[in-house]
Each structure stands twice: as structure tokens, then as C-alpha cells.
Structure 1
Amino acid sequence: YTITPRRTIEKVNQDAEWIFGASVVEAALKANHRTLYRLYIYAGENRTTASKERDSYLKKLARQRNVEVQEVTDSGMLESMSSSRPHNGYVLEASPLRKIPILSLLAVDIDKSNFGLQKAQHDFTGANQTLAEIPGFLPNRTPGRYPLILMLDELLDPGNLGAILRSAYYMGCSALMVTERNCAPLSPVCLKAAVGAAEFMPILTHVTPPRLIKDSQEKGWKFFAAVPPIADASKDKLKKYLSVQDQEVREALNQGPVVLMLGSEGDGLRTTLSRMCDKYISIPSALDVYPGVDSLNVSVAAAVLVQGFVGGARSLGSKVDNSAAQDTLW
């Protein structure tokens, strides 16, 4: 058969991107962290009553943001915009989501409400942010305890990145941190997997992980490196190894701010980075697992490890409307 070539749809702004899916589009309209150009909504005859109700709601959000709405009956147009990925009848043309370029993490406020950022002196993300536009601090999402940040290095699968973003935001991490040059991009595939969480989660980025770790440790941050469980080790070495089930992990956020580090899907965290950490942390397996199925997907492992730190702690968002503070920050 003959493959029909994907159509080229002209954008309002050529630097913009297509984001798609009901949850992603709704989050982008609510978060106010992007420049939004045009919302496309499928208006075919097969639209269900529930879909039409959601259409009206998203149109209302778009009008509040002064975003143009265009209804289309040609599903192929939306398929071209989403590269044939599921879009639920919604595609939004928007500026790319900005990351926050930093050199290191700074100290946490005495009342634990915020923590500082050592801003990069120039925007290496390509977003052309001025120094004044880069925030100097972020709110702590675990009230009464110190913040937890999830740090990723050499994570290449955008689907995994999106899934980790979703879990990290849901469970109360104060930010996600990536290495700028060796992690998956915030692509539409990543954003779809994050189901809107990327619009609300601060995403920090840096270019020199060893320097960031060293300088952040000097400001009181403890780094925990995710590693496989070890079967045999010396007594001295075991002092540095923790299980996600250990009391020290559950109490860590009562003692100081924490960065949980995870590496690539295949090889894990680079040795040069894991050696710099304060502790190693692992997830114990059942005793009878077979070789070859004795590990977890990195996004699943991230969620289990984060739960080990936050436990039953609830984020600020569960009781306090933090949207105004976030709007002023990034």
C-alpha cells in the first residue's frame, strides 16, 4: 500500500511545539508557565457527550488565557501534529517548557519553607532566559520537613522521564533535576507520559554534576545514590549502604535536605558520581527472583525510593494553594 506522507501544519510561532492529550493540555492552560498560541479541538460527529463537556471546559480555560481556539473536523490534522500519538482530540501550540539552569543548591531557610539556588550566569538551555528571569529559590513541598529533590543522570528514555516526573510531583518532591547534555529532552512524548505534572514541577538543569554535588553538600544537602542491592560487602562498606525500608531513610528529611540520584536505564548511576554520594540506597527483592528479572524499571524504582523518604508526609499542595508562589518563581 502507499503510505500517505504526514502533513506539515503551519504554526503561529515556528519555535513553538505541539503538546497533546487532555491532561497535558489542561495542565498547560492552568499552569501559566508557557506562551500559548492556539488550541485545536476535534469537533467530529463521533464526539461523545463527555468529550463535548470537556471541550467546553478547555475552551473556557483558553479564553481566560486569551488563547485562540480552532475546532477541526479533520482528525488527520491532529494526527499530523501529534505524530500519530494519542491526543484525545486536543492539541495545543505552545512555547517549550523552560528548565531552570543552576550551578548548585543553596541552604534551606530556617523555617524550611524555601531553599536557595545558585543560578547559572547564563542560560545554557537555549531558552534565552535572562538572569533576572531565573528564580533564586523554590518552595519546599514537604511542610515541617526538609525538601527532597530527585536527580537524574544519563536517563535517555523520554517515556521514563515523563513517568518519573509524574511520580515525583504526585509524591511531593520539590523539584526534578537533570543533567543538561545527557538526559532525555522534555519532548511531547515525555510530557504525555507525565500527564501534566511537568507543567507544575520545577525542573532544574546543570552541566557539571561533580561540581553541583560538591557545592550542594557544602550547603547541607545529603546525596543518596540508587544502586542495586549487594549480597556481600565488608562491614565498613555496609555502613554506607541502606535499604529503602531502613529507619534512617524514613527519618532523613527530618535531619536535612536530600537529593536522591538515579542513573541510566541500563548501567545505573555513573561510578564517578555515586562515589561522591553520602549514602547508597537500594530496593530489596524477593529471595526467589530469577536472574534477568531481578531489577525494576527506573521509573518504578524512583517511585518506590521516593516513597521511602517521604512516607506519609503530605505536600504543601494538599493543604495550601501554592500556585501564586510558583507563578512568581518560574
Structure 2
Amino acid sequence: MSNYQDKNNNLDEENELQLIIGRNPVIEALKANKLIDTIYINPEAKGSITLICRLAKEKGINVKRVTETKLNNMSRGASHQGVIAMGACAEYVSPEDILSIANEKGEDPFIIICDEIEDPHNLGAIIRTAEAAGAHGVIIPKRRSASLNATVFKTSAGAASWLPVARVSNLAATIDMLKENGVWIYGTDGEGQSYTEVKLTGPIGLIVGSEGFGMGRLIKDKCDFLLSLPMAGKVNSLNASVAAGIFMYEAVRQRNL
């Protein structure tokens, strides 16, 4: 059994060498000095492809001119807009790094914690909103979670190139470490108080639960506060990334008062 798990873990690590698909994600990755080995372009593509080639030349990155068919095969149907970059998408930081980033900025930590967000589109959307909202970083677990793959980069519209992401083996222990460093933990749950009635200023970690089941019991028990959204319709839940965006911007509203 252990050999089988080791092989799967090795495959997961190999899959971290991902594609960055689409013009805006590639441009943002270049501007953020992400590690890129090669950029594949369709020479017949126009517009910002010229900018991409110039940035790649300035950074000494190899540019290969390929056919539209080649790009279609590489992207497996995703909209590539004439450009794909090959590089290591998964450049993770540690949770301590995220705390240090907040400290260096002289700001209270504002951290988004994703508890088993398995859909890469949701994770990408959460990262995009977190970056726009001024969060200092996102924390994801190694197991039962989407990783920083090409879909996440594409959905985040380049935000994954800017916002630090930590990938941890023990989410519960990481939450304990954050609490020891003065971070208050807020979970999102239907049993919680209305999100507008809870103080979201100061150092906070906001937990977003999985798409189908919400937060796990252990993670829920570690929360200092539980937040909920009022539901007036017949549907009693929202998409994880949509709900996360509402909670994040309530924190932004309060922190800007």
C-alpha cells in the first residue's frame, strides 16, 4: 500500500509542472517573474502576443512558434488565445511566510484558508478575489484539494502569480499555529451568526469549506467564530467561491471603515 501511495505522490509532484494557458495569465506570470521554461505561441496570433514575446526576450525565456493544432492539443480544449507557457505553476510558500508578508506591510494578517476545495475553478476564483481584496495569502491542504494547476491559473486571471499560496500537510495544526500568532479564525457555516454582525477587523483567518460538505468537523471545532449568509430563496447554499467573495469583501468593508 505504501509503495502505491508513494507512486501517486510522485505523480502529483510531477503534475505540478503545469501549463499557463491564455494571454493574461501568461503576461501576469512574466511580470511576476514566475519560473517559465518555454512559451509556445501561434505566430499568426496578433495583439498582446507581441508584448508576451518582448517580455520573454527581456527575461531570456525561449519562445517556440507552433501551430494552432499544437496549442489545441496542449491545452486539451481550454481557450489558449494563441499562447501557452510551460513552467512550474506550483511555487508554494509556508504559512509563516504569509504571516511575515503581513508583518512587513505593517498590516493585520488577512488569510484565506480553503478546506478541501477540490474544484480548480473554485480555487482559482477564490484566489482571484482574495488577491483583489488585499488578502496576504491563501492556505490549502495537500490532500483532497485542488493544487496550483493550469486551470487554477487560468480561472484566477493571473492572480495566482501574485498571491502567495501555502500548501500544508496538516490544516488543523496550521490553524493552531495561526492562533498562537494572534490570528482569529472565522469559519463559514450555516449555523453561524449573520456575517454582518461579526467583527472582521484585526488579524483574521477566513475558512472556506468544501463545495459539497462545508468545513470538516475538526476544522469547524477550531474556529473562534462562525459566519453565515442569509438565504431568502429556495436554494439554501451558494457556490463556494461566490460565498467566499461575499465574506472577504465584508472584511474589506469593515477594515476600511
User: RMSD of the alignment, in Å?
Assistant: 2.3
Provide Cα deviations, 1:218-243, integer angstroms capped at 9, x if missing partner: 22110001001x4xxxxxxxxxx432
Residues 180-189 or 293-302, more deviating: 180-189
Q: Of the candidates 65, 76, 80, which is equivalent to residue 83 of structure 1?
A: 76
Q: 1:182 to 1:14 in 2, by over 3 A?
A: closer
The residue type equivalent to 1:139 in the other structure is I
Provide closer, same or farther for how the CA distance between residues 136 and 191 of structure 1 changes in structure 2, counting only shifts above 3 A: closer
Answer yes or no: is 1:170 the counterpart of 2:163. Answer: no
**In the alignment, structure 1 residue 33 sits paired with structure 2 residue 34:** yes
- Give the structure 2 partner of residue 94 of structure 1: 87
Tell whether 2:13 aligns with 1:19. Answer: no
Post-superposition shift, 1:296?
0.6
C-alpha contact 2:20 2:89 (8 A) present in aligned 1 = no
Give the TM-score of the pair, scaled to structure 2. Answer: 0.87
Aligned-pair distance for 1:33? 2.9
Shift of 1:211: 1.9
**In structure 2, C-alpha distance between the alignment counterparts of 1:219 and 1:97, rounded to whole Å:** 26
Which piece of structure 1 moves more, 305-314 or 59-68?
Answer: 305-314
Q: Distance in 1 between matches of 2:90 and 2:174?
A: 23
- Structure 2 partner of 1:57: 51
Question: What aligned pairs does 1:1-330 form with structure 2 within 5 A after superposition?
Answer: 16-34=17-35, 36-44=36-44, 47=45, 52-72=46-66, 74-102=67-95, 117=96, 135=97, 138-140=100-102, 145-228=107-190, 230=191, 241-246=192-197, 248-249=198-199, 252-253=200-201, 256-286=202-232, 289-290=233-234, 293-311=235-253
Q: Judging changes above 3 Å, is the alpha-carbon distance between structure 1 residues 203 and 218 closer, same or farther for their aligned structure 2 residues? A: same
Query: What TM-score do you get using the length of structure 1 for normalisation?
Result: 0.68
Equivalent position SS for 2:48: helix
User: Is 2:89–2:150's contact at 8 Å kept on the other side of the alignment?
Assistant: no
SS at match of 2:196: coil
Question: Residue 141 of structure 1 contacts residue 172 of structure 1 at CA under 8 Å; is this kept in 2?
Answer: no
Contact 2:72 2:78 survives alignment (8 Å): yes
Distance 1:218 1:198 in 2: 27
Amino acid at match of 2:49: D
Question: Could you tell me which amino acid in structure 2 is paired with residue 297 of structure 1?
Answer: N
Q: Is 1:19–1:82's contact at 8 Å kept on the other side of the alignment?
A: no
C-alpha deviation, 1:70, in angstroms:
2.1
Which residue identity is paired with 1:218? Answer: E
Q: How far is 1:81 from its partner? A: 1.1
- Matched residue type, 1:198: A
Structure with a larger share of its residues in helix: 2
CA distance in 2, matches of 1:66, 1:180: 33
> CA, structure 1 residues 285+183, in 2 after alignment: closer, same or farther (shift >3 Å)?
same
Query: Partner of 2:6 in structure 1?
Result: none
Give the whole-Å Cα distance in 2 for the aligned partners of 1:175 and 1:136: 6
Answer with 1 or 2: which has the greater Rg: 1
Give the Cα separation in 2 of the matches to 1:90 and 1:197.
18
For residues 64 and 101 of structure 1, do their structure 2 counterparts lie closer, same or farther at Cα, with a shift above 3 Å needed? Answer: same
Q: Report deviation, 1:313.
A: 5.3
Contact 2:194 2:229 in 1 (8 A): yes
Displaced runs of 4+ in structure 1, greater than 3 A? 13-16, 135-138, 141-145
- Identity percentage of aligned residues: 28
Quote how far apart the aligned CAs of 1:209 are. 2.1
Rounded Cα–Cα distance in structure 2 between residues aligned with 1:301 and 1:141: 27
Please state how far the C-alpha of 1:156 moved relative to its aligned partner. Answer: 0.7
Match of 1:121 in 2: none
What secondary structure does 2:226 align onto?
A: strand
Gaps of 5+ in 1: 1-12, 103-116, 118-134, 231-240, 315-330
Q: Which amino acid aligns with 1:274?
A: K
Count the aligned residue pairs: 243
